[in-house]
């Protein structure tokens, strides 16, 4: 059996069509602002998100970092969720490089932060003992909450609250197009809440590298300076931007296929004794292409944990990602390099391994 890699949608390889446009891309020196393909990508993404300008950067982590360093200064406080990617998986860059103070709130199961919690977290600007609250960050879709999509109404409500208090809203939209497709809305409706938004090209969209940060023209001008400070100035990177343009043209609508396969995968996992997958039965949340499942108590009592199960699957060419501190949770992700036959083969393999437990 060929290897079926379900660890992440970052593992995709460029399609033949994408490779062709990369090979023929017109390029220039982007630090001098002279790469026409990057200029086109930045303008295209900004227009798609209904924002004034865009900035091509190397990664989603860099995009979020540049956004936070542009919006806030040393000693400022930023509000984010306990399960936010920016808090868990970006190496503490905002604190290490920007001196920003994170104020962490609990995420509800649907990825949201309670409005009352956000309001309670706001600092008293007249109290010299407290760091000034500068911005709120949201994540859509929300990775650690199962890839759920945050609704337009919720995002708008957060923005209304934040803007009433003079705060900025940054949207980590690493998988924003997944959220829009799953919700059945124009992506613009999910970014109207935000003063800035980051979209990753190398996840569900299937490009090999890069993210685009969007916002006002004034914000992007400052962000371009910050990008240079953190070493993100690239030269003839239009080769990479061409892949992003191709992805925007060819890989957005097909995200719905990934969501269908994710649901099929979730149902199959939940049907296997010893495994539980909320996504298979919970219709209150809008799911996308991430599938999280848990080993139940009976399986755990036999000494099988998530790392061990993942290792056994890997021996049979099915790759997945154990997550969390309890040793019982696993993530699988659908993407353009897996099809229905792969999902069935992965389920058959998982069933076989569990039968041996």
* In the chain, % of residues over pLDDT 90: 95
Domains contained in the chain, CATH given: 14-250 (3.40.640.10), 254-355 (3.90.1150.10)
DSSP 178-221: HHHHHHTS-HHHHHTT-SEEEEESSSTT--SS-EEEEE-HHHHH
34-70 pLDDT per residue, tens? 999 999 999 999 999 999 999 999 999 999 999 999 9
- Give the closest residue to 224 by CA, choosing from 237, 232, 93: 232
Helix, strand or coil for residue 166? coil
Report yes or no: 292 and 278 within 8 Å, Cβ to Cβ. yes
Give the pairing type, strands 133-139 and 101-105.
Answer: unpaired
- The rounded distance, in Å, linking the Cα atoms of 211 and 82 is 23
pTM: 0.95
pLDDT digits (tens, 9 = 90+) for 317-332: 999 999 877 789 999 9
Q: What does DSSP assign to residue 245?
A: H
- Give per-residue pLDDT as tens, 176-215: 999 999 999 999 999 999 999 999 999 999 999 999 999 9
How confident is the model over 139-150, as a mean pLDDT?
97
d(CA 121, CA 130): 11
Where do we find the tokens 């996992």?
269
Peptide bond into 269 cis (omega under 30): no
Give ∠ CA 191-195-197 in degrees, rounded to 5.
Answer: 55
Radius of gyration of the chain (CA): 21
Partner residues linked to 55 by β-bridges: 213
Please say if the pLDDT value at position 298 is more than 90.
no
Rounded to whole angstroms, the Cα distance separating 309 from 274 reads 12
**Matching residue, tokens 């979730």:** 266
Q: Which two tokens stand for residue 217?
A: 């023209």
Rounded to whole angstroms, the Cα distance separating 295 from 304 reads 8
Q: What is the DSSP string of 285-302?
A: S---SEEEEEE-HHHHHT
C-alpha 188/C-alpha 233 separation (Å) is 28
């Amino acid at each position: 059996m060929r290897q079926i890699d379900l660890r992440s949608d970052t593992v995709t390889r460029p399609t033949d069509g994408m490779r062709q446009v990369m090979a023929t891309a017109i390029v220039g020196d982007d630090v001098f602002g002279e790469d026409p393909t990057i200029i086109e990508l930045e303008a295209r993404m900004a227009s798609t998100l209904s924002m004034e300008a865009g900035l091509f950067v190397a990664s989603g982590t860099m995009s979020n970092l540049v956004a936070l360093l542009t919006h806030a200064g040393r000693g400022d406080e930023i509000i984010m969720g306990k399960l936010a990617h920016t808090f868990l998986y970006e190496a503490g860059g905002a604190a290490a490089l920007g001196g920003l103070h994170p104020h962490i709130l609990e995420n509800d199961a649907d990825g949201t932060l309670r409005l009352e919690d956000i309001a309670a977290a706001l600092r008293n600007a007249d109290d010299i003992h407290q760091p000034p609250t500068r911005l709120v960050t949201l994540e859509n879709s929300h990775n650690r909450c199962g890839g759920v999509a945050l609704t337009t109404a919720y995002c708008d409500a957060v923005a209304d609250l934040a803007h009433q208090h003079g705060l900025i809203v940054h949207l980590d939209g690493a998988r924003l197009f997944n959220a829009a497709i799953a919700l059945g809305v124009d992506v613009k409706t999910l970014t109207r809440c935000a003063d800035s938004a980051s979209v990753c090209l190398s996840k569900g969209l299937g490009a090999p590298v890069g993210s685009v940060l969007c916002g006002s023209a004034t914000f992007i001008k400052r962000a371009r300076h910050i990008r240079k400070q953190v070493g993100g100035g690239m030269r003839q990177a239009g080769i990479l931007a061409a892949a992003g343009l191709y992805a925007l043209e060819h890989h957005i609508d097909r995200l719905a296929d990934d969501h269908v396969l994710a649901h099929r995968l979730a149902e199959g996992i939940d049907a296997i004794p010893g495994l539980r997958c909320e996504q298979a039965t919970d219709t209150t949340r809008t799911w996308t292409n991430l599938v999280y499942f848990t080993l139940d108590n009976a399986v755990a009592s036999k000494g099988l944990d998530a790392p061990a199960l993942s290792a056994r699957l890997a021996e049979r060419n099915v790759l997945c990602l154990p997550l969390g501190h309890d040793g019982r949770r696993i993530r699988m992700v659908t993407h353009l390099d897996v099809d229905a036959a792969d999902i069935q083969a992965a389920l058959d393999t998982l069933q076989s391994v569990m039968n041996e437990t």
